[in-house]
Amino acid sequence: MKTMEPTADQNSKEPEHKGPNIRTMKSDISEFLASTKPSLVQILTTQVEAERAAEDEGPKVRQTARIFAAVGIILIVGTLGYLGYRYFLPSSSEEAGTLIPQPFFSVDKSVTVEYKTGRSLMPSILDNAKVVESRGVIKRLVALGVSSDNQKVSQLATEAFLKAAGIEMPSGIYPALADTLMPLYYRGEFGTRLALVIKTNDPARAFDQLFRNEPELANWWSALFLGENVAPRIIPFEDRVYKNISYRILALDTARDLQMVYAIFPAKNYLIITSSEEPLRVIINRLFQAS
């Protein structure tokens, strides 16, 4: 009997060796992270399940699973801790029971002074006015009332601030003024100027009270000049307009831009008082930007 010889095709076929399809926890995790974007909770859940499945894969694999699980727990605890910290952290306008209203419009800087009842606020105002800023900078002045036990209470209300700063007003104007005001420093071409932006309940009455008492304003508002000597002039206020906002101005020293200026910003019912025409226009620009 003839023995069958293998054909060429049969000789060319090599035996196929199928390697074992080995899956490990590490490969599963890599594939999972590459194909999805899991949350921290999903990562932790995946690692815990992988750790349980790895009990039969040896000590080394179980150790790797524990490491991943620990990292997931740390991430979750750290995230929750940070969120809690941000949630309970007091804002810059509310510290230790101190309430500071938000500014009426954007300012470049802010400075805080303290005031105790019965004392003048002007020394603190003058000291901060000596800090030289860049041209065009508006710096908010926050005056905090301090209680008898040296605890900061809140920003001074309008009438309290005006009296503490030595700025007089017609007695009939106070019912028209709200309790909130924003004192400002403005660095202009000729130095630092002081300005006030006051919320009003009755802007027409506030304007009328100032209009009726214009002959007295140069004396009443001398504190606005921050110690600069201004020679009195027997001249009337005049009307001017900037961006459809009418204002009254008393030109005392045009060479140094030292004026008495007041205006009503009707869109927000703000009374603006400045010692210079330049800061009035800058304030009006920023109020329009904030509207």
Q: Is residue 16 part of a domain?
A: no
The pLDDT of 144-169, averaged and rounded, is 84
Q: Is residue 219 part of a domain?
A: yes
- Of the three residues 55, 88, 121, the one that is the final residue of a domain is 88
169 shares a domain with 35: no
233 shares a domain with 144: yes
Q: Is residue 138 part of a domain?
A: yes
65 shares a domain with 42: yes
Q: With a threshold of 0.85, does the pTM exceed it? A: no
255 shares a domain with 226: yes
- Of the three residues 88, 112, 133, the one that is the final residue of a domain is 88
195 shares a domain with 63: no
103 shares a domain with 67: no
85-to-41, 76, 82, 88, 93 alpha-carbon distances in Å = 20, 14, 5, 5, 17
Contact partners, residue 58, CB within 8 Å, separation at least 6: none
Per residue in 41-100, pLDDT (tens digit) is 465 555 556 555 555 555 555 566 566 666 566 666 565 554 444 433 343 444 445 567
Lowest mean pLDDT among 109-118, 165-174, 265-274, 281-290: 109-118
Round to whole Å and give the CA distance between 190 and 201. Answer: 34
* Per-residue pLDDT, 35: 56
102 shares a domain with 75: no
- Of the three residues 36, 58, 88, the one that is the final residue of a domain is 88
Number of domains composing the chain? 2
The pLDDT of 104-119, averaged and rounded, is 89
280 shares a domain with 243: yes
Tell me which residue range forms the domain holding 199.
94-290
Q: What percent of the chain has pLDDT over 90?
A: 47
What value does the CA radius of gyration of the chain take, rounded to a whole number of Å? 37
The pLDDT of 101-107, averaged and rounded, is 90
Residue environment code for 49-69, b if the CB has 16+ CB neighbours within 10 A, otherwise e:
ebbeebeebeeebbebbeebb
108 shares a domain with 71: no
276 shares a domain with 199: yes
